[in-house]
Chains A and B, each alone.
Chain A
Amino acid sequence: MDAQISKEAYEIAAKQKKLGYQIKRNKASYLMLAPYFILFFLFTVLPVVISIGLSFTYFNMLEAPTFVGWKNYIKLFLEDDIFLISLKNTLIFAVITGPVSYILCLLFAWIINEFKGKVRALLTLIFYAPSICGNAYMVWNLILTGDRYGYLNGILLKFGFIDEAILWMKTEKYVLPVLIVVQLWLSLGTGFLSFIAGLQTVDKSLYEAAALDGIKNRWQELWYVTLPSMKPQLMFGAVMQITQSFAVADISIQLAGNPSVNYAGATVVTHLLDYGSTRFEMGYASAIATVLFLLMIGTNKLVQRILRRVGE
């Protein structure tokens, strides 16, 4: 009897475990999930999968792709000097702008959160503004113009620091540092907003409890109370920041051109675009994209691990 019951229960349980049954039972939830999932699958998962597939082919976009095995990857790692330059640039970019802007975001969010009401909203807007108005970095073109009419050159000439205009975006050694500065200026983006949101959701009673438990200063309060309570936002901000700093391309193209002088401003994405458009090698470009994809996932895993230690 018992065995029979348990067998029936077993079957029911097995049946309930099946996806189809789950979906039927929670169909409302799945229905609500569906639009996002379909779009996500069509426009994110599918392209990534296709791109990985294409990376094993020769594909010039005008003719059908042909399978070439690992050839693209072999060329990418063994023959392509410029890929190495662009990888180096991207890593420098990511290592500098990623953490710095992440910390800046957090710091500004924390400071702004101290203000009340409209002032806070206004300050948020001011700091967020550069990243909403799409091509705001175009003003840097004016600042960095390479003749004596550029603002930066003008100021430096006026105060006698230089005696001849510098072609900022055409001189190898200046390109990358300048791009990093511009990227930092732009980086108070979505991450920053999510931090502000996170700071506001922290339960006020926790602060009181912490005060009773003997928190000594604001830093301790930040580390032991605030940050642990906003871990999801921290995570989100980090992911955004990493993707941003790895995928940086627009700034480089707009300010330094693509290809930039001696590839001084080349990043993995500009390199990819160069192959994808100018050189008609979509297969190879896909291989680059795949490598970039793996690189991003790896870094994300690493960052997640670090973030788990917050508040410990």
Chain B
Amino acid sequence: MRGSRQLKKCMAVLLAVAVGVTGITALPQARMEADAMTDKTMDEYDEIVSTYSVDSSVPDYKSYVKNYNAVYPDARIEVEAGAYVRYEEENAAAEPQVFSDYQGMSGDSVLTSEKAMIEYEVNVAQEGFYNLAVDYFPVAGKSSDIERSIFVDGALPYGEMALLTFHRVWKYDIVQSAGENGSVTYAWEKDNQGNDCKPGMVEAPEWMTSYCYDSDGYVTSPLSLYLTKGTHTISILSLKEPMLIRKLTFENAASTKSYAEVKAEQDKNGAKDTTGQLITIQGEDATKSSSQMLYPQQDQSSPAVYPSSHKELLNNTVGGNSWRLVGQWIEWDFDVAETGYYNISLYDCQNFVRGVYVSRRIMIDGIVPFSELEDYGFTYGQSWREDVIGDGQGNPYSFYLEQGHHTIRMEVVLGDFSSIISEVEDCVKQLNNIYRKVIKVTGVSPDTYRDYQIEATLPELHNELVAVRDQLDASITSLRALTGKKSDKETVLLTMRDQLDDLIADAEYFVRVIGAYKINVRACGNWITSVIAQPLAVDRINIYSADVNVKYENTSFWSKLIYEVKRLVFSFIIDYNQIGNVAEEGTDAPTITLWIGSGRDQANVIKAMIDETFTSNYGVNVNVQLVDMSTLLRAELAGEGPDVAIQVANTTGIAGQVLNTGNDTPVNYGIRNAVLDLTQFDDLDAVSKRFSEASLIPFQFDGATYALPETTTFPVMFYRRDILAELGLEVPETWDDVKVAMTVLAKNQMEFGMLPGEQTFAMLLYQNGGEYYTENGDRSALDSDVAVNVFKDYCEFYTDYKLDKETSVEERFRTGECPIIIADYTIYNNLVVSAPDIAGLWDFVPVPGTVKEDGTVDRSTGCTGLASIIMANTAYPQECWEFLKWWTSADVQTQYGREMESLMGSAARVPTANLEAFENMPWPVDDFRALEEAFVWVKGIPQVPGGYYSWRNVNNAFYTVTTETNTASPREELMDKVIYINAEIDYKRQELHLPIAVN
């Protein structure tokens, strides 16, 4: 049913595109002679990419394939990159850079920039499905994966084509030397505590040929395009990163034979077992990989891992949690001395995901030897163990290897779970749709005594519930078939299905369980995130003759016990606060102490960077200590403070609180002479240019600058494309639009999401031209007319429009209760990483603005962020300053950002304050533009002595107004509080011997 309806829609759209866009009438075949260049602009393509997820005329791959006859011609069509018919950059025709014979690839290759679109025409002689392979070279960019969309004849053939990922190639940045058995090996650098340093990752670009794969991994085979006979246009739109293209190839990938077939064939050719061969490759000795996250790991969980130490951290394994994303691969080299059959075993650990197994595609010399290795599963186990690659019945597979050099590559695939996951994801989308439909009738907290007549109001609900229930049930059945038994993984799905059964029996039951329903849907969403991850840690790979018995040492209980006892003893000796090299006492070079306020991973990365580029270039030793920043004051009091502190948050020291109130530490410490005034350094002005002016303002007072900003974050507006389209709502541009939107949302029992807070108030205040303080900061400016009116508006959002003051907006955004929210831009990363159920359904823009008298729209927002400070009692001010300059420089911030991302994924994207580094962060091009636009409007909230009193009192006034709506008037409440604010400012200025304002 659904398929055919979509088929019709799809055909209709294709036809419309054909008629409307190319101006050619009749059927696609008629376009044969035509110039196969589309006249869609880049913006129009962008629009398609950003709306396909809510456009029901774009099918998904599965239904796309069903629409056509399964014809797989064995023709092979090559399109040279130089034969492009159109190239545009930023919406204007441009000339691409063409390289000839680049890096050993003969012929012309074309560089497509990260903001480009290129079109090719392809002549198809035989109608049918074709896989598209791209020959590309990952030229240097922002070090993230390359992302492209591909269109056929100006239209998106199916959703999966909107986001295609092409990997880069990475290797460790230390010298590879030849190890035994032909594998590479590394001499790890050590810090002076004896720990191995993690090597940095550098790109090792090479020419690659890659089919187009589903970037979600739900479709495991290469994607195919159905091409009719005639000329077609292929448009490739850049989403992220530049890419050098050599050619496009349309062909059908040969299907891999099964093990039995391959084995029989090789037996027939006279292949024999080898004897006595054993080739061991250490996991950490990988030659190259697809991602900078795949650096060696330092495992201390078992003495059986090689090499192992109870004291030092040694690079001894690879993979683990960082090797979990679909498409990531690692490759090892090895030499074979004797031609014949070998077995392969891994010493590995998969104690990450229970209940399901993780899959790898195993390739030897770039080819999957037999179909069983397309997705080979690794089940859950408590600890490190030997996995012999075999059929699961105890019979190892025999791999035929010729004498000579080989590579083995393992790539993360979703394997058999892919279809289940995509089914469940589909279910979650439908369940969320149902939720929104129901709350339109009942609201989010229905009155249980009322009869809402849900069945009468939503007649289609019953069938939808049955459909999604059946789909979910089918997924559970196939999950059970795969895992072989009941597992805890399926409980969330079972709970959801059981609840659906109840709801199918009586839709009115929704009224009682709407909250639980929402929680269950959320659980299903999280289920997807958890099973999509495919982590596997590898210690070593053994390639051995069948008659060799591979031995593992230290696997006994006793050796484990001894190991753990030793580790326990050493835990009393090792100082975990000290990170990396510790400078020795009495050396000539100056030594400064650095405090880092965030986490251990951050500290490790920073220390490695310091050793690598700072100490060697400036001759200054840096002792890095990982410290809870709330102890900074006490440490200073005791004279035990650092020389430099970075990632400094509020006085309370809680990093998260920076978002709620401004960062007051630098100014508060500075005016009490505990932090160096940076204006004493001549080049401060030059250094300040690195940041937006606004981000420095909170750290300046009375002509002094007490800190350099490290991060800058500000609110933006996120919105749900699908829901706004459903409601026919435009994205609000101004606050007047927002008020209209709020009424529309309220009518549909939804809400505008905006929590009260300093950022929200500051945004409204600055947009209306208000200020926090008078010119020199000795008086509060909140008693001005503008401020009072803004405060009234601010309160009205929560009194008249009754916005929620407490519940996290991020949560409500995900369920769709709040399709528009105002939130800090860093939430972007959380949504990208942890909300796959709404992937592609949302976007963000700068916050709504206020219309000025001259008709322009002011979109100002406040901003806040972490700071880097130099303590006043340092013995080496100049060296500290050099350090701060180094740390906040574009190169270092960029490197830090990338390393953090490589370590923890894009959820850890650093909101750096350095403008140049900000540009270098791997944002998708469109999202970066939205942020860039918003950045222009950012304003800083000044900090003055006694300034903490401002927000505290505004907040007090706010809660009085909103909780005592009958008696309290915003104007009076605010004016009352301003008296307190001014008194505190006077008091503090007196204390600090500053002139007091005359009234």
Binding site for B on A (CB under 8 A): 58, 60-63, 145-149, 157-158, 160, 164-165, 167, 170-172, 259, 261-263, 277-280
Binding site for A on B (CB under 8 A): 444-445, 447-449, 515, 633, 636-637, 651-652, 668-669, 672-674, 802, 804-807, 948, 952, 955-956, 959-960, 963, 991
Query: Which single member of B448, B637, B806, B948 contacts A147 (CB below 8 Å)?
Result: B806
Chain B proximity of A135: nearest CB distance (Å): 16
Chain A proximity of B674: nearest CB distance (Å): 4
Residues of chain A contacted by B991 (CB below 8 angstroms): 58, 60
Q: How far is the CA of A260 from the CA of B772 in the complex (A)?
A: 22
Known: A148-B444, A157-B445. A62 touches B807 (CB 8 A): no
Chain A proximity of B940: nearest CB distance (Å): 21
Determine if A62 and B956 form an interchain contact, defined as CB atoms under 8 angstroms apart: no
Q: Closest chain B residue to A173 by CB distance?
A: B963
17 contacts between A and B (CB under 8 A): A60-B672, A61-B636, A62-B637, A62-B669, A62-B672, A63-B672, A148-B444, A160-B447, A164-B802, A167-B805, A167-B959, A171-B963, A259-B952, A261-B959, A263-B956, A277-B651, A277-B652
Determine if B948 and A262 form an interchain contact, defined as CB atoms under 8 angstroms apart: no
Residues of chain B contacted by A277 (CB below 8 angstroms): 633, 651-652
Residues of chain A contacted by B806 (CB below 8 angstroms): 145-147, 165, 167
Q: How far is the CA of A58 from the CA of B991 in the complex (A)?
A: 9
If A62-B673, A147-B805, A278-B948 are given as contacts, then 15 extra A-B residue pairs at C-beta distance below 8 Å, sorted by A number, are A60-B991, A61-B633, A62-B637, A63-B672, A63-B673, A63-B674, A148-B445, A158-B448, A165-B806, A167-B959, A172-B960, A172-B963, A261-B960, A263-B956, A277-B651
Chain A proximity of B693: nearest CB distance (Å): 27
Determine if A280 and B672 form an interchain contact, defined as CB atoms under 8 angstroms apart: yes
Residues of chain B contacted by A167 (CB below 8 angstroms): 805-806, 959, 963
Residues of chain B contacted by A262 (CB below 8 angstroms): 956, 959-960
Chain B proximity of A165: nearest CB distance (Å): 8
Q: Closest chain B residue to A58 by CB distance?
A: B991
Q: How far is the CA of A165 from the CA of B637 in the complex (A)?
A: 45
Question: Interface centre among A171, A172, A262, by most B CB within 10 Å?
Answer: A262
Residues of chain A contacted by B669 (CB below 8 angstroms): 62
Determine if A261 and B672 form an interchain contact, defined as CB atoms under 8 angstroms apart: no
Determine if A147 and B633 form an interchain contact, defined as CB atoms under 8 angstroms apart: no
Residues of chain A contacted by B955 (CB below 8 angstroms): 261
Residues of chain B contacted by A62 (CB below 8 angstroms): 633, 636-637, 669, 672-674
Q: How far is the CA of A277 from the CA of B633 in the complex (A)?
A: 9
Residues of chain A contacted by B447 (CB below 8 angstroms): 160
Determine if B636 and A170 form an interchain contact, defined as CB atoms under 8 angstroms apart: no
Known: A62-B672, A278-B651, A280-B672. A147 touches B807 (CB 8 A): yes
Known: A63-B672, A170-B963. A261 touches B956 (CB 8 A): yes
Q: Closest chain B residue to A166 by CB distance?
A: B963
Q: How far is the CA of A61 from the CA of B444 in the complex (A)?
A: 50
Residues of chain A contacted by B449 (CB below 8 angstroms): 160
Determine if A147 and B959 form an interchain contact, defined as CB atoms under 8 angstroms apart: no
Chain A proximity of B444: nearest CB distance (Å): 7
Chain A proximity of B516: nearest CB distance (Å): 12
Q: Closest chain B residue to A257 by CB distance?
A: B955
Question: Interface centre among A58, A149, A164, A277, by most B CB within 10 Å?
Answer: A149
Q: How far is the CA of A246 from the CA of B963 in the complex (A)?
A: 29
**How many residue pairs between the two chains, A and B, have CB atoms under 8 Å in the bound complex?**
63
Determine if B445 and A279 form an interchain contact, defined as CB atoms under 8 angstroms apart: no
Determine if B959 and A170 form an interchain contact, defined as CB atoms under 8 angstroms apart: yes
Determine if A279 and B948 form an interchain contact, defined as CB atoms under 8 angstroms apart: yes
Q: How far is the CA of A165 from the CA of B803 in the complex (A)?
A: 12
Residues of chain A contacted by B963 (CB below 8 angstroms): 167, 170-172
Residues of chain A contacted by B807 (CB below 8 angstroms): 147, 149
Chain A proximity of B983: nearest CB distance (Å): 9
Residues of chain A contacted by B651 (CB below 8 angstroms): 277-278
Q: How far is the CA of A201 from the CA of B873 in the complex (A)?
A: 59
Q: How far is the CA of A146 from the CA of B633 in the complex (A)?
A: 33
Determine if A61 and B952 form an interchain contact, defined as CB atoms under 8 angstroms apart: no
Chain A proximity of B817: nearest CB distance (Å): 11
Residues of chain B contacted by A158 (CB below 8 angstroms): 448
Q: How far is the CA of A108 from the CA of B497 in the complex (A)?
A: 47
Q: How far is the CA of A261 from the CA of B445 in the complex (A)?
A: 27
Question: Interface centre among A62, A164, A259, by most B CB within 10 Å?
Answer: A62
Q: How far is the CA of A84 from the CA of B672 in the complex (A)?
A: 28
Chain B proximity of A21: nearest CB distance (Å): 40
Chain A proximity of B701: nearest CB distance (Å): 14
Chain B proximity of A259: nearest CB distance (Å): 6
Residues of chain A contacted by B956 (CB below 8 angstroms): 261-263
Determine if B668 and A280 form an interchain contact, defined as CB atoms under 8 angstroms apart: yes
Chain A proximity of B487: nearest CB distance (Å): 30
Q: How far is the CA of A63 from the CA of B959 in the complex (A)?
A: 37
Residues of chain B contacted by A145 (CB below 8 angstroms): 806
Q: How far is the CA of A147 from the CA of B960 in the complex (A)?
A: 17
* Top 5 A-B residue pairs of the complex, sorted by shortest distance between their CB atoms: A62-B674, A147-B806, A62-B672, A146-B806, A147-B807
Chain A proximity of B821: nearest CB distance (Å): 15
Q: How far is the CA of A278 from the CA of B652 in the complex (A)?
A: 7
Known: A147-B806, A170-B805, A278-B652. A61 touches B637 (CB 8 A): yes
Q: How far is the CA of A157 from the CA of B805 in the complex (A)?
A: 17
Residues of chain B contacted by A279 (CB below 8 angstroms): 948
Q: Closest chain B residue to A279 by CB distance?
A: B948
Residues of chain B contacted by A146 (CB below 8 angstroms): 805-806
Chain B proximity of A66: nearest CB distance (Å): 11
Q: Closest chain A residue to B960 by CB distance?
A: A262
Q: Closest chain B residue to A81 by CB distance?
A: B980
Chain B proximity of A86: nearest CB distance (Å): 15
Q: How far is the CA of A170 from the CA of B956 in the complex (A)?
A: 9
Residues of chain A contacted by B805 (CB below 8 angstroms): 146-147, 167, 170
Residues of chain B contacted by A160 (CB below 8 angstroms): 447, 449
Q: How far is the CA of A67 from the CA of B49 in the complex (A)?
A: 70
Q: How far is the CA of A277 from the CA of B445 in the complex (A)?
A: 41
Chain A proximity of B944: nearest CB distance (Å): 13
Chain B proximity of A301: nearest CB distance (Å): 34
Residues of chain B contacted by A61 (CB below 8 angstroms): 633, 636-637
Q: Closest chain A residue to B674 by CB distance?
A: A62
Q: Closest chain A residue to B963 by CB distance?
A: A171
Q: How far is the CA of A140 from the CA of B432 in the complex (A)?
A: 31
Chain A proximity of B108: nearest CB distance (Å): 61
Q: How far is the CA of A157 from the CA of B333 in the complex (A)?
A: 66
Residues of chain B contacted by A164 (CB below 8 angstroms): 802
Residues of chain A contacted by B672 (CB below 8 angstroms): 60, 62-63, 280
Residues of chain B contacted by A149 (CB below 8 angstroms): 515, 807
Residues of chain A contacted by B668 (CB below 8 angstroms): 280
Residues of chain B contacted by A171 (CB below 8 angstroms): 959, 963
Chain A proximity of B930: nearest CB distance (Å): 29
Chain B proximity of A293: nearest CB distance (Å): 21
Q: How far is the CA of A167 from the CA of B961 in the complex (A)?
A: 13
Chain B proximity of A288: nearest CB distance (Å): 16
Residues of chain B contacted by A172 (CB below 8 angstroms): 959-960, 963
Residues of chain A contacted by B802 (CB below 8 angstroms): 164
Chain B proximity of A137: nearest CB distance (Å): 19
Residues of chain A contacted by B952 (CB below 8 angstroms): 259
Q: How far is the CA of A163 from the CA of B727 in the complex (A)?
A: 27
Q: Closest chain A residue to B808 by CB distance?
A: A147
Q: How far is the CA of A128 from the CA of B807 in the complex (A)?
A: 33
Residues of chain A contacted by B633 (CB below 8 angstroms): 61-62, 277
Q: How far is the CA of A170 from the CA of B798 in the complex (A)?
A: 13
Q: How far is the CA of A263 from the CA of B444 in the complex (A)?
A: 33
Chain B proximity of A277: nearest CB distance (Å): 7
Q: How far is the CA of A137 from the CA of B386 in the complex (A)?
A: 47
Q: How far is the CA of A262 from the CA of B956 in the complex (A)?
A: 5
Q: Closest chain A residue to B447 by CB distance?
A: A160
Chain B proximity of A260: nearest CB distance (Å): 9
Chain A proximity of B952: nearest CB distance (Å): 6
Residues of chain B contacted by A60 (CB below 8 angstroms): 672, 991
Q: How far is the CA of A171 from the CA of B959 in the complex (A)?
A: 7
Chain A proximity of B807: nearest CB distance (Å): 4
